[in-house]
Structure 1
């Protein structure tokens, strides 16, 4: 009885601070079910990466086939962020009402429809609607997949497992860069639909999040899911009781969106929103989506540049996954921010050399070096860690509202960056990059 009261007191202290439960599974082992569930969830991350990387290799083919202007293609390239704004308004609510699995299933159905509309599109309207659906589905996945993985993983492995989300996003981007240079843009869209189909199929074989089951009062289902995740011979009684106690400690709280803006969540909210704004306002969307045109403007072969990006970013993300729990979130974010800043400075200066006859020959190679440095720095920290941190700093009863707010801010900032980039490049190549410093 004393242990129960002590546990409840500690939970109440965590509640006042807006923290996750201090009593979590400390097991360092990951069962086959945890690994399988994580891999299934990461299929959604792979789909997101394919959507992000699609526009760069497909740009010239789409513009030639459908006769699109720069303005029309800018709409296509950025309209996924409009879908993201819509998704950001409802993703947390959907995840709380329908559950983690059902919401992921719904988002992947939309992504599948989006890819098919792009693949078989006869005009810009088809492509724009398909891209809009992709944006909605992917922004739901960007929020929900790290949350789901964090809620099923052992505490000691949570950082590495949730960081794998960014690894798969990067793999998807690299896949599009690799094969997009040699195949038609319609076939590329059909390849993009494969991760969504795998995700839809895999969701039938993995358990629901125990924390969400506790939230809706399904304690028997919670124990069954937790037993599946921890192994048949594992004693899950203590962990199950702690999850239930922690969830009930928040039961009295309202789930209105405005409740997120209470003073006790001020620090978490500032950190979460600030990180996703930083993630976009360093120009990541512009460089990833329009890397081919950046290389072309610098006089560097686009295919060589995009393939190099595909090659270098996967090991960079893999390294970040390995060191996330050892170095910590904050040091990696600081290293990432400094690296992207210096890289943008180098790219901007390189484009300014085009105005000097004696320095023009330096522009292609320096832009190449700058973009490679930018990609490595970005994917090692700012690309994925904001979502990992978000999944950890908000308690379960405001996590849905926090996720909606963060994805909404992320989508609006990303749309601003991606939409105006082509126009700013026509105005000033150097200024278009340097502004992200």
Structure 2
């Protein structure tokens, strides 16, 4: 309730288990929103180069994830052609495409504990081992079993690397660059898809697998020259190493690095006290705290709609999906390369849009545009007259779907993982999220051939359109705006009285957050 000075006192239900935490929290001074923000010095070219170099190596890993995801799109047509040296049925092809996605959650669940124990950079280093071994198996494959083993290893590598790459980028970036750097993995992922499509259009699939080993091996060498995440080092109480790493990332400004580390330390102390006050057990996992559970729910439900909207189905089955939509009027290479190139260009532009435009308007406009394109394509395929006069309509609608999907639905996944999970639970929360995404992706990829037979192309795009619009509505109701917000402010949103964005973003609540950051009212916890 309001105190005599107009500020909200922290109230905790009385009980012997909470007395100590309550006293500590009540004696802890409030840190205002302005105090909690880091005072940033003017950008120096050294800081930009340092963060850019670190990001580039991490993005090399996400590019190889894109290569792995896009590989089946042109691999399956080669395997299923009449002159294939490894003849493959539709059922075998569905396993080759989807086994990557069922193995990825294994790596994802492992990535959380691993990155918390040995660090973000070290986790990415470890992920390179199964990736190179996987591509090696594929390059030597003379049977479906060896090919599936290779795809399984690259799937595990994708799971091991996806969350650490996003977390590393979020933790090294200055807030004004965070949207650009955390959004960049979508562009590098798309670039990896384009690269694998281009290689597969001119080289045999085994040779493509050999070439695909070059980028991860190069990243392996470069990672040894770069520091670990300063935030992780600070959490491990390796203060001197954290200061050295952050000073390098800030262009040599030790004063700025010290200030940022002080803010990190203060926030960690507050988080620890709050978790103790909100939990009857000090050993309780941070994943079970209400703000993190809420963030997990919002991120994973949206990602379910994202996957079911066909975002990744078109990547794995690009040739098949788009030839069904266009009636087979274009070649495999034309379809695959145009969609991949479109995705690269749109995600690159979107990275810079993120510096000016909020996440919510980009996601909602992306969903409305791609949903409308999918529904129009479904209607056209169902009712359009059979004539060559309008043969340009289906491919145009497909490209429109890819355009709108790319700058919002496709890339928001990485942003949500990087910006919505607080540091104390970012590792396990990111691992759980990536595992959930890829489990959903496995079922959608594995069942795609059956869906095409059951629904036909018109029904398939009707399904994509409805899932896209459902995801858009969910984003409108529940997704918080993270642009320009500190990670502590984002966490405070999920501690509010409601999951609905409108209620938690009311003027009264924004004022309350500003006055009382980052202390929470413990009565609001369940």
TM-score of the pair, normalised by structure 1: 0.90
State the Cα distance separating 1:372 from its structure 2 match: 0.9
State the Cα distance separating 1:364 from its structure 2 match: 5.1
Q: 1:40 maps to what in 2?
A: 57
Larger-gyration structure (1/2)? 2
Structure 2 Cα separation of the partners of residues 116 and 66 of structure 1? 17
2:97 paired with 1:77? yes
SS at 1:161 equivalent: helix
State the Cα distance separating 1:350 from its structure 2 match: 3.7
Residue correspondence of structure 1 range 15-164 to structure 2 within 5 A: 22-24=36-38, 26-27=40-41, 29=43, 30-63=47-80, 64-164=84-184
Residue correspondence of structure 1 range 241-260 to structure 2 within 5 A: 241-251=262-272, 259-260=286-287
State the Cα distance separating 1:408 from its structure 2 match: 1.5
2:359 paired with 1:338? no
State the Cα distance separating 1:160 from its structure 2 match: 0.6
Deviation string 1:268-297 (CA, Å, 9 cap, x unpaired) is 222211232122111122111111112333
Deviation string 1:98-151 (CA, Å, 9 cap, x unpaired) is 111110011111111111111111111111111111112112322121210110
Structure 1 Cα separation of the partners of residues 402 and 260 of structure 2? 40
The answer to whether the 8 A contact 1:28-1:154 is kept is no
Residue correspondence of structure 1 range 125-204 to structure 2 within 5 A: 125-204=145-224
The answer to whether the 8 A contact 1:178-1:310 is kept is no
Structure 2 Cα separation of the partners of residues 158 and 28 of structure 1? 16
Structure 1 Cα separation of the partners of residues 124 and 105 of structure 2? 17
The answer to whether the 8 A contact 1:211-1:222 is kept is yes
Structure 1 Cα separation of the partners of residues 398 and 284 of structure 2? 39
SS at 2:409 equivalent: coil
Segments of 5+ residues of structure 2 without an aligned counterpart are: 1-24, 276-280, 467-526
Q: CA 1:179/1:46 → structure 2, altered by over 3 Å: closer, same or farther?
A: same
Structure 2 Cα separation of the partners of residues 36 and 402 of structure 1? 26
Structure 2 Cα separation of the partners of residues 370 and 75 of structure 1? 29
The answer to whether the 8 A contact 1:282-1:340 is kept is no
The structure with more helix, counted as a fraction of residues: 1
The answer to whether the 8 A contact 2:286-2:424 is kept is no
The answer to whether the 8 A contact 2:286-2:292 is kept is no
Q: CA 1:56/1:142 → structure 2, altered by over 3 Å: closer, same or farther?
A: same
Deviation string 1:361-405 (CA, Å, 9 cap, x unpaired) is 478533311221122112201222222122112211111221122
The answer to whether the 8 A contact 1:26-1:156 is kept is no
Q: 1:435 maps to what in 2?
A: 463
Q: CA 1:10/1:299 → structure 2, altered by over 3 Å: closer, same or farther?
A: farther
State the Cα distance separating 1:169 from its structure 2 match: 0.5
State the Cα distance separating 1:82 from its structure 2 match: 1.0
Deviation string 1:23-66 (CA, Å, 9 cap, x unpaired) is 34634624322111111111001101111111111112123321
The answer to whether the 8 A contact 1:214-1:247 is kept is no
The answer to whether the 8 A contact 1:48-1:169 is kept is yes
SS at 2:354 equivalent: helix
Q: 2:512 maps to what in 1?
A: none
What is the number of residues matched between the two proteins? 422
SS at 2:269 equivalent: helix
Structure 2 Cα separation of the partners of residues 159 and 28 of structure 1? 18
Deviation string 1:228-283 (CA, Å, 9 cap, x unpaired) is 11122441221122222223334565897854132233432222112321221111
Q: CA 1:238/1:72 → structure 2, altered by over 3 Å: closer, same or farther?
A: same
Structure 2 Cα separation of the partners of residues 203 and 255 of structure 1? 36
SS at 2:453 equivalent: helix
